[in-house]
Chains A and B, each alone.
Chain A
Amino acid sequence: DGGITQSPKYLFRKEGQNVTLSCEQNLNHDAMYWYRQDPGQGLRLIYYSQIVNDFQKGDIAEGYSVSREKKESFPLTVTSAQKNPTAFYLCASTPGQGPWGEQFFGPGTRLTVL
């Protein structure tokens, strides 16, 4: 079955460590996205990539980095520069062309800083 997978489901990080969240899709979608979700807030865009080897900062990119070396993979690194990284992280993808706007989401990763 086609879809988006995220791993791990739960991740614990010590202060000062970098951690990488995995996102893989087998939908042959061109565009991929990373969102952060905090209690009482909607999803906020961290980074997005419209094609391989290209990505752009979203609204809250500080303290995060990404790469897009393969079409199906879009890993997110949470660096030690991110001051409050405890949150739920969602990866999404779209075909890049119609139907406009529908994003397919992965199951998410819950990151906790100890």
Chain B
Amino acid sequence: AQTVTQSQPEMSVQEAETVTLSCTYDTSESNYYLFWYKQPPSRQMILVIRQEAYKQQNATENRFSVNFQKAAKSFSLKISDSQLGDTAMYFCAFIMNTGFQKLVFGTGTRLLVSP
């Protein structure tokens, strides 16, 4: 069974600084997708970034980028120029590229951005 591990329950960073959230996963599959979802205090889940396993290039979305190490099964999220609005729970998630799209989530990292 696939598992996703987020080893940092909480992190804090000051505004404008950079922070990296860690995620590791376990799978024997070679074709899959990885995601980072953000859940702010409103509790609405929002997709931050997506990485296809067959792509070597790391995904980037504005201030958000990932470091995807397929051999190490590592998928960290880097947030640059942190903003107060980045305060949220961040979930790493995994899905196999099969007929049924079942997401497997990590336990989340609570990020606090302070002024």
A interface residues, Cβ below 8 angstroms from B: 31, 40-45, 48, 50, 58, 88, 90, 92, 94, 96, 99-103, 105, 107-108
Contact = CB atoms under 8 A, between A and B. Distances in A.
Interface of B, secondary structure class, is: loop
Given A43-B91, A107-B43, A100 B105 contact: no
Contacts of A44: 105
Contact of B101 (A41, A88, A94): A94
Contacts of A45: 102-103
13 contacts: A40-B9, A42-B4, A42-B93, A42-B106, A42-B107, A42-B108, A43-B105, A45-B102, A50-B100, A96-B101, A101-B95, A102-B50, A103-B101
A42 B91 CA distance: 7
Contacts of A31: 101
Name which of B33, B100, B103 has the most chain A CB atoms within 10 A of its CB: B103
Contacts of B93: 42, 101
B79 to A, nearest CB: 20
